[in-house]
Structure 1
Amino acid sequence: MGMSVTISAATDQDAEQILKLQYLCYQPEAALYDDYSIEPLTQTLDDLRAELGDACAVVARLGTEVVGAVRGTVDADGTAAIGKLIVHPRMQHHGLGGRLLAAVEERLTAERSAKRYRLLTGHRSEGNLRLYRSHGYASVGTEQVSSRLSVITLEKEAAAADGAPQSYVASA
């Protein structure tokens, strides 16, 4: 065996593998909320390609296979929206989700000047909440979307080059 997982920028050629992995990874979420019409399960390949063109996207590869992915965008005020963090079920619980999250945060800060990171997850998605909280995210709000779903918004400040949160870095 001996193959290790590498993390790199996603390319347009990764789109089909990402879409298939996304479909696989969001099945448990859809079951948890009894809603199979969620966007990650209905997104088309063309829509994904357009999203990848606009987003900062990162993939994890085991050889040539995409086994994880995440993407994010940054708005005008410097808030990075991170979404669709997925890891193949056979690769979960080995730290890959955290590595992907750190990689996309780093790229969003370096390439798009992110000042803070924001992500959303469902109120029953305990594994997601654990992962995000273990990486410094804190809940900043909850929105009742339907009788079955409340969406929790989590945020954290981006770190500066020296590792200090940007809010503590003195400006010149």
Structure 2
Amino acid sequence: MGMSVTVSAATDQDAEQILKLQYLCYQPEAALYDDYSIPPLTQTLDDLRAELSDACVVVARLGTEVVGAVRGTVGADGTAAIGTLVVHPRMQRHGLGGRLLTAVEERLATERSAKRYRLTAGHRSEGNLRLYRSHGYASVGTEQVSPRLSRITLEKEAAGVAGAAQDYVASA
């Protein structure tokens, strides 16, 4: 009998599993850019716990195992920064990344009044870029971080924001 994956808010008890998962998941990314000093690989457990208390963190669980995670924060201007989306390699290519992305977007909008979402990806991270674009994100800029890395910034409006502005104009 198979288990289904559940998506829910992370707790402090998930910190160690999230840290191990992000370390596993960011190895190929580090190899792609030949840079093993990236923040997901150097973050400490204490730093992650602090982030869990401040950020909106969503996890995917298969039984008691954390098999995916994503986090986000919302700035004063209503822009949500979404990052560190990870899915265990054995669970990839089954839509779990998309489920996590949608779940964190919904929580950021309802609990923290996000008006738009922003995330970044390395220029060689085609799988990540494909996922983000398939969820409505569009490229808004590129930053040359190093000779080996350009970071692409993608954004999209929160659901209902563009419609709310149109409703206001229509009723004015």
Scaled by the length of structure 1, the TM-score of the pair is 0.95
* Residue matched to 1:163: none
Could you say what secondary structure the match of 1:145 adopts? strand
* Residue matched to 1:101: 101
Q: CA separation in 2, counterparts of 1:74 and 1:121?
A: 18
1:127-149 per-position Cα deviation (integer Å, ceiling 9, x unaligned): 00000000000000000000000
Q: CA separation in 1, counterparts of 2:152 and 2:80?
A: 16
Structure richer in helix, relative to its length? 2
The reply on whether 1:122 has 2:122 as its aligned counterpart is yes
Aligned residues: 167
How far apart are residue 66 of structure 1 and its match?
Answer: 0.1
1:102-133 per-position Cα deviation (integer Å, ceiling 9, x unaligned): 00000000000000000000000000000000
* Residue matched to 2:32: 32
Q: CA separation in 1, counterparts of 2:51 and 2:11?
A: 11
Gaps in structure 1 of 5+ consecutive residues: 161-165
Scaled by the length of structure 2, the TM-score of the pair is 0.95
* Residue matched to 1:146: 146
Deviates most, 1-10 or 91-100 = 1-10
1:72-119 per-position Cα deviation (integer Å, ceiling 9, x unaligned): 000001000000000000000000000000000000000000000000
How far apart are residue 168 of structure 1 and its match?
Answer: 2.5
One-letter amino acid of the counterpart of residue 12, structure 2: D
Q: CA separation in 1, counterparts of 2:2 and 2:163?
A: 42
Q: 1:168 aligns with which of 148, 152, 163?
A: 163
Could you say what secondary structure the match of 2:146 adopts? coil
One-letter amino acid of the counterpart of residue 107, structure 2: R
Q: CA separation in 1, counterparts of 2:11 and 2:78?
A: 24
* Residue matched to 2:111: 111
How far apart are residue 2 of structure 1 and its match?
Answer: 1.7
* Residue matched to 2:132: 132
One-letter amino acid of the counterpart of residue 145, structure 2: V
Q: CA separation in 2, counterparts of 1:8 and 1:168?
A: 28
CA RMSD in angstroms, aligned pairs only? 0.9
Q: Percent identity?
A: 86
Matches within 5 A, 1:40-59: 40-59=40-59
* Residue matched to 1:16: 16
* Residue matched to 1:155: 155
Gaps in structure 2 of 5+ consecutive residues: none
